Structure 1
Amino acid sequence: MNKSILRKILNYIGSIIALLSVIFVLHRIAEYWKQVPDDTFTLNLLLLILVLASVYGTANTILASAWRMLMLGLHQSISHRVATRIYGLTQLAKYVPGNIFQFAGRQLLTMSYGFSGKAVAKSTVLELLLLIVTGTTFIFWMLPLLYPWFNFFYGFTLFVVATMVVALGLELHGRRSLINVVTKYFLFLFISGGIFFCVLYSVVDNWTVTPTLILPLIGAYVISWLAGLVTPGSPAGVGIREFILLLLLKPFFAEMDIILAVVLSRVVTIIGDCFFYLFSLSLR
């Protein structure tokens, strides 16, 4: 079998995975939409969902850019346009049960463009490892929710120390380029947590926001996201993320408000992923 035919086959398989992803995403949106009371969707809330979904969709380009940097570090000369297209077309596959199809789709689609399959596999392993390392540092932001004596200052100080240790470790191992990748992952996770905070703020009545509570809430979201990422078989962390957020935030908010915020944040991220998919589809 010559390379041209093999690339076409890989492209078709990748396209099938992407199509299945769209079907599962539409199903997810319909399921989550049913869980939200009808009187919840005011015009202001709908506008907020669209704005936050647009922000989240745009933030996905940060992940694509970080993946491109990993590929470049593995001597794969991939353009920003191609990297964004491949990443966006396969990202929706994370909603397919199994939690691996986004990586399988990316592997196949990237190989269909003629890139090294071994390098793509290495970039996936690196991406997961660096996301886990970056996400773990947010535990210091979240600790004040569990231990009131562990105040915001302690948590932020330990976070800074942890990030410096990570940067120093990469520097000493001659992986300075990965520091930029970790920075991009931090930015994406911070934006994701900020989106959840905005959704929570919109559904909780009579809540006076204090600056010392913002970062712990963002940290709680990132830790719940991380738990969903590393749980095998859970599509996009469905169920895992919700359970951990409910566990962490129950002492501070009404259970119904937490559930509503979690469901709406899911709607926001799914619509944002769809926006990113459509944008990637337009890149030729």
Structure 2
Amino acid sequence: MTRARALDLARILFVLLTLGCAWLGFRGRGDEIADALADTSALGLAAALLVTLLGLALTAILWRRILARLGSPVPERAASAIFFVGQLGKYVPGSVWSFAAQAQLGRRHDVPARRSVTASGLFLLVHTATGAVVGTAAVVTGVLDAGGPRWLWALGLVAGAVVLALPVVRRDVGPAMVLMAGVWLAYGVGVLALLGPARAGLDDLPAIIAAFALSHVAGVLLVIAPAGLGAREGVLIALLEPVVGLDAAIATALLARVVHAAADFAIAGLAALRARRTGVRPSPGLRPADRRTDL
């Protein structure tokens, strides 16, 4: 077997592994999912999927931008395939599989593994810090009722802001914040669509966005859980309950997990197909003098 065939086989096995792990996350919950789907309109479900795909697309733009700033510009279609297929690694228990997969996939485009890992790490840092800022700011200002002393949430807000002010992030923090604002807005609108107009309205959107952002941060911090399984749902339910009630919060948290998993695999498959059809080749790196190490 040639090395190229071995790598193709490894990629197929990787995707199958992530599919299996994602399925395990829903095992035994078929009845709950069916009940939640029965209470959600087809239009709401489709809208949630579409805006979630939009949010994911914006994250890919941010990751590609970071990678280019580090000195490895990659064509859009190739970068999307590297990012989205590699991101499926988050469904495998542990915190390193996405990084490892993106590093391996990036080698076809002359991206050094260390640089790919650095880009993925910075992306995760920005993603998590902006989520913390969005969520804690909503709690501090009273937009979201999360319980606990506000000064404690204010510390979280300061911590998120400090991360975004780090030298490695600060130079390009404006565009990163704009992209991530779009991401959190898209994800929040997706949750609102799942709730439907009978259970939530546009005036609830700021609290929903903040609740999802904080739940996402909790999922990232629980590194042993695949894609934050359990932690994300638990936090989202707790934060949505004061807004929409317990039953709606439970059903929506479960459906949000289903929608995000479907979007992850769909966009990864589409990105891989686009890259294969265009026959992308390794892209030239920047000259040493042009390389930058800031975001």
**Could you tell me which amino acid in structure 2 is paired with residue 214 of structure 1?**
L
Q: 1:232 to 1:174 in 2, by over 3 A?
A: closer
Q: Distance in 2 between matches of 1:39 and 1:261?
A: 7
Do structure 1's residue 281 and structure 2's residue 272 form an aligned pair? yes
SS of corresponding position for 1:115: coil
**Could you tell me which amino acid in structure 2 is paired with residue 244 of structure 1?**
V
Aligned residue among 207, 222, 225 for 2:213: 222
CA drift at 1:40: 4.7
Which position in structure 1 is the counterpart of 2:139? Answer: 142
CA drift at 1:86: 1.2
TM-score (norm 1): 0.79
Do structure 1's residue 111 and structure 2's residue 126 form an aligned pair? no
Query: 2:45, 2:193 within 8 Å by CA — same for their partners in 1?
Result: no
Q: Deviations over 1:100-130 (max 9, x none)?
A: 3222211111124331111111112211211
State the percentage of identical aligned residues: 22
Query: 1:18, 1:92 within 8 Å by CA — same for their partners in 2?
Result: yes
CA drift at 1:280: 1.0
Query: 1:146, 1:248 within 8 Å by CA — same for their partners in 2?
Result: yes
Q: Which runs of 5+ in 2 are unaligned?
A: 277-295
Query: 1:142, 1:220 within 8 Å by CA — same for their partners in 2?
Result: no
Which position in structure 1 is the counterpart of 2:33? Answer: 36
Q: Deviations over 1:214-253 (max 9, x none)?
A: 2122101110111101211111111101111222233344
CA drift at 1:26: 4.1
Q: Distance in 2 between matches of 1:195 and 1:241?
A: 15
CA drift at 1:29: 5.3
Query: 1:33, 1:267 within 8 Å by CA — same for their partners in 2?
Result: no
**Could you tell me which amino acid in structure 1 is paired with residue 76 of structure 2?**
H
Q: Deviations over 1:177-221 (max 9, x none)?
A: 3432232122112211221122223573xx5x362x321221011
Query: 1:203, 1:261 within 8 Å by CA — same for their partners in 2?
Result: no
Aligned residue among 120, 123, 142 for 1:127: 123
Query: 1:11, 1:112 within 8 Å by CA — same for their partners in 2?
Result: no
Q: Distance in 1 between matches of 2:55 and 2:146?
A: 29
Query: 1:228, 1:234 within 8 Å by CA — same for their partners in 2?
Result: yes
TM-score (norm 2): 0.77
Superposition RMSD in Å: 3.3
Query: 2:21, 2:91 within 8 Å by CA — same for their partners in 1?
Result: yes
Q: Distance in 1 between matches of 2:262 and 2:185?
A: 19
Aligned length: 266
